[in-house]
Amino acid sequence: MIGIGLLGCGRISENHLVGYRDPEDLAQRGEIVALCDPNEEALRRQATRHEVARRYTRIEQLIDDRNVQVVAVLTPPDLRCDVVIPLLEAGKHVLVEKPFAHTYEEAQRMVDAAARCNRVLAVNQNYRWRADTLKLKELVDQGAIGQVVGMHQLHAMWRDEGPGWRRTTDYLAMAVMAVHWLDRFRWLAADEATSVYTAARSTGLLQSRGEDWAAMTVKFKGGAIGQCTEDWCSATRHRADTFVIDGTTGSLMADRSTITRFGRDTGDEQKYEVSGEFPATFAHSMRLVLEAVAGGTEPSISGRDNLNTIALLDACYTSAASGEVVHLDTALGAANDTATAAAHANGPATAAAGAGATHGSR
Ligand SMILES: NC(=O)c1ccc[n+]([C@@H]2O[C@H](COP(=O)([O-])OP(=O)(O)OC[C@H]3O[C@@H](n4cnc5c(N)ncnc54)[C@H](O)[C@@H]3O)[C@@H](O)[C@H]2O)c1
């Protein structure tokens, strides 16, 4: 049994605590044995509710606990290298919540530390395991729409945050939410970005100071274009979450619970209803980490794979600030071939596959 510790007992810890407990295979492999948070109230609330005996307010205590082999890092996103690198250096394997980092340089430092310490380092890109994404991925990989030519993601909601890091961060809508869609573009197109153009603003409609309206245009090596709109201040209030992917022989449209396939020449339509529990997506990321720890392999959601998602996110911020197109360099593009091969593996029903990716820099 592998001992798991959670670093951070805030909002998202509930999904990890509930998610890891339910699937039998996961419960047999690993167990949450310790929680750590400097906020004693958050720590007590989650430890009591989920009956976790070991409770720490300092990371050093978690590091010293030999019962903990894997740590899920659920801290605010500006706290990454400072906790992840000491954990790796202390011999812990680490699953980091998204966004892995705000900059490519930070992400690279953590990936280098994992390689140096020979530890598993993964990122919770759990939207890859959402029921709609799983079905989309299955259909795209089966050739249901031919070769991918373009993708649209529209996500609009009203998200005025209470006190906390989402109010004060300079990295809001793109880093906190669009990172899921940028990663899903990579995952579904099985391709890597070559350039990005982004317009983003803070409208002043929310109490948060970071960007709350962003339009990101991404070009991929194979020619596909991804267009992502992330809007946190929509008066529609209702959460619009619509995705369209066009291919040479058809298109798929997803609104979370329904996926429709449209044939290009025949005009036929097929509908697929999908459903799934959100905590199960968190459980699957941890399942991949535990499999990688046991098998000495690299999970498809490895930190190394995520360098390409963070390269994309970093480029979006650079483009938004400069108003220029940002080109991702050829070293990154070349490395992506192997990272993409790894990204094909490790869906919930597949066995873990190793990846021997090397990575470039940006
Ligand atoms: N994957 C998803 O679907 C998803 C959804 C929501 C949030 N998240 C991510 O989860 C992370 C946390 O978000 P949240 O909503 O839980 O935030 P939160 O503010 O509710 O919780 C963060 C917790 O971290 C604690 N913390 C701060 N410094 C710490 C330290 N040094 N050591 C240990 N704990 C520390 C805080 O006291 C707080 O309890 C973010 O990266 C966020 O993007 C992921």
Q: Give the Å distance between the CA of 219 and the centre of ligand 1.
A: 31
Indicate if 228 and 273 belong to the same structural domain: yes
Task: Report which ligand 1 atom has the smallest distance to the Cα of 124.
Answer: 1
Nearest CA to ligand 1 atom 18: 10
The reply to whether 122 and 137 lie within a common domain is: no
The CATH number given to whatever domain includes residue 47 is 3.40.50.720
Same domain, 164 and 238: yes
CA distance 7 to 253: 37
Q: What is the pLDDT of residues 122-131, one digit of tens each?
A: 999 999 999 9
What is the number of the ligand 1 atom nearest to the C-alpha of 164? 19
In a domain, 351, yes or no: no
> Does one domain contain both 265 and 289?
no
Residue 333 has pLDDT above 80, yes or no: no
CA distance 142 to 123: 26
Residue-level pLDDT at 346 = 52
What is the dihedral sign for C-alpha 154, 101, 103, 297?
Answer: negative
Q: Specify the pLDDT at position 161.
A: 85
Q: Which of 261, 277, 293 is the last residue of a domain?
A: 277
Contact criterion met (CB below 8 Å) for 312 and 186: yes
Q: Which two tokens stand for residue 7?
A: 């670093």
The pLDDT of 286-296, averaged and rounded, is 96
**Is the same domain home to 95 and 236?**
no
How does strand 193-201 pair with strand 326-327?
antiparallel
- We report the CATH number of the domain holding residue 185 as 3.30.360.10
Considering the domain architecture, whether residues 268 and 166 belong to the same structural domain is answered as yes
Q: Is 164 in the pocket of ligand 1 (CB under 6 A)?
A: yes
Write down which residue in 237, 261, 277 finishes a domain: 277
Residue 72 inside a domain? The answer is yes
What is the per-residue pLDDT across 82-116, written as a single tens digit (0 to 9) for each? 999 999 999 999 999 999 999 999 999 999 999 99
User: Is the pLDDT confidence value at 218 over 50?
Assistant: yes
**Mean pLDDT of the region 113-121:** 98
pLDDT in tens, 230-258: 999 999 987 889 999 999 999 999 987 99
Q: What is the dihedral of CA 61, 176, 338, 290, to 10 degrees?
A: 40
Q: Give 358's pLDDT tier (boundaries 50, 70, 90).
A: very low
Q: Is residue 144 part of a domain?
A: yes
**358 CB neighbour count, 10 Å cutoff:** 10
**Inside any domain, residue 349:** no
Do residues 188 and 232 share a domain? yes
Any ligand 1 atom below 6 A from CB of 9: yes
pLDDT computed for residue 256 by the predictor: 78
Q: Which domain holds residue 176?
A: 128-277
Residue, of 162 and 99, whose pLDDT is higher: 99
Let me know if residue 336 belongs to a domain: no
- Token look-up 């579904």 returns 188
Q: Is the pLDDT of residue 227 over 90?
A: yes
Is residue 126 lining ligand 1, measured as CB closer than 6 Å? yes
Helix count and strand count (H, E) for the chain: 12, 15
Same domain? For 163 and 122 the reply is: no
Same domain, 79 and 146: no
Q: Which helix (H) or strand (E) holds 335?
A: helix 330-343
What residue owns the CA closest to ligand 1's atom 19? 10
Centroid of ligand 1 to alpha carbon of 234 (angstroms):
25
Chain-centroid distance, C-alpha 289: 14
Buried b / exposed e over 274-309, threshold 16 CB at 10 Å, is bebeebbbbbbbbbbbbbbbeeebbbbbbbbbbbbb
Mean pLDDT of 166-185: 97
Q: Where are the alpha helices (DSSP H) in 39-130?
A: 40-49, 59-64, 81-89, 104-117
Assess whether 158 and 256 both reside in one domain: yes
Predicted confidence band at 348 (pLDDT cuts at 50, 70, 90)?
A: low
| Position 312 in a domain | no
Per the structure, the count of domains in the chain is: 2
236 and 195 in a single domain? The answer is yes
Instruction: Kindly state whether residues 135 and 268 are assigned to the same domain.
Output: yes
Report CA(75)–ligand 1 centroid distance (Å).
4
262: pLDDT strictly greater than 90: yes
Distance 78 CA to ligand 1 centre (A): 10
Quick one: average pLDDT of 270-294? 97
Tell me the C-alpha distance between 103 and 290, whole Å: 27
Q: What atom in ligand 1 is closest to the CA of residue 7?
A: 33
How many Å apart are CA 170 and CA 156, to the nearest integer?
A: 19
Task: Identify whether 330 is part of a domain.
Answer: no
Can you list the positions of beta strands (E) in 249-349?
250-254, 258-263, 269-273, 326-327
CA dihedral 165, 167, 171, 172 (to 10 degrees): 110
Cβ–ligand 1 distance for 59 under 6 Å, the answer yes
Residue 354 domain flag: no
Residue to substitute in 11, 40, 285 for testing ligand 1 pocket (most ligand atoms within 8 angstroms of CB) = 11
